[in-house]
Amino acid sequence: MFDGFHLEHIRLPEATLRVRHGGSGPPVLLLHGHPRTHATWHRVAPLLAAHHTVVCPDLRGFGGSTIPADSPDHDGSSKRAKARDCIALMRHLGHERFALAGHDRGSYTAFRTAMDHPQAVTHLAILDGVPILEALERCDARFAARWWHWFFFAQPERPERAIGADPLAWYGGSPAAMGEEAYADFAAAVQNPAVIHGMLEDYRAGLTVDHRHDADDRRAGRRLQCPTRVLWSRRDDLELLYGDVLAVWRPWTTALSGRGLDCGHHMAEEVPEGLAADLLAFFAGPGLGAGGQSA
């Protein structure tokens, strides 16, 4: 798994992140979703590494990275805090500007990184996500029935008890689908009570501080300045919930493209070659120039 990549724990100003990195060329940062670790990228990262320097961290609160201290506003688990980690990590590795892709919960951190640090992100790929504010404002009976976990995970204590009783049964996954080493990494993470809590705090932040940050951006008229590529799983829920997924993103972007992929939710594990090909083509295209304008 990740042949030729380096695995290390990197101490940053606010957190220590477990990071896998390798390859050469223009830098790309890949952010995993819930309940995965960076290992979810093990089939995609080597394909990208033929043309890029690829960096795959465990987000704070996940896997082998720092579990943030609790606070009433969940600020330590906010996507803004995790975005600061992304910037600090890439600068630590020598990259002032980079392309970025995020899946699921990682897509929210990717969005916040590009929104808060526009000069640093040349290209943004969002995989299976819409802005948190849009999801909550469009919430209806279908959303509540299919994405009920957003609201359950945000409750205090009870979700930790429910998941902790049998984490592997709760989350599913298998060595056959994920790969043996990736599954072992995932299983070790989700069976750690501290990681379960850290992952749930990501949802609690989503319904509080992250929601406010998105609302502040919309009131201020801020948009993503870099080219944005949105990919979604046709066998998952985004088309059912939102119809035209790109229409949801259009008010938040300045240069938008995207399409659905014929796969389930965990696209990096299910269609790695197709996903890597799409990302390589996107990252090779015009990006945000050094002067802050789309090239």
- Give the tens place of pLDDT for each residue, 204-243: 999 999 999 999 999 999 999 999 999 999 999 999 999 9
Coil, strand or helix at 270: helix
Question: How large a percentage of the chain has pLDDT more than 90?
Answer: 97
Taking only the tens place, the pLDDT of each residue in 45-84 is: 999 999 999 999 999 999 999 999 999 999 999 999 999 9
d(CA 159, CA 157): 6
The predicted model scores a pTM of 0.97
Radius of gyration of the chain (CA): 18
The residue count for the chain: 295
Task: Quote the mean pLDDT of the chain.
Answer: 97
Are 31 and 106 in contact, with CB atoms under 8 Å apart? yes
DSSP 69: P
Taking only the tens place, the pLDDT of each residue in 172-213 is: 999 999 999 999 999 999 999 999 999 999 999 999 999 999
Name the amino acid, one letter, at 215: A
CA nearest to 29, candidates 47, 2, 53, 12? 53
Note if 74 is an active site residue: no
Where does residue 217 fall: left (phi above 0), alpha (psi -120 to 50 degrees), or beta otherwise? alpha
What's the CATH fold of domain 6-284? Rossmann fold (3.40.50)
Taking only the tens place, the pLDDT of each residue in 21-37 is: 999 999 999 999 999 99
* Active-site residue identified among 32, 38, 95, 104: 104
What does the pLDDT read at residue 288?
80
Locate tokens 């298998």: which residue? 174
Maximum CA extent, the chain: 52
What does the pLDDT read at residue 180?
97
Which residues sit opposite 259 in a β-bridge? 231
Name the amino acid, one letter, at 110: A
What does the pLDDT read at residue 254?
97
Note if 21 is an active site residue: no
Of the pLDDT bands very low, low, confident and very high (cuts 50, 70, 90), residue 6 is very high
Coil, strand or helix at 26: coil
d(CA 155, CA 219): 28
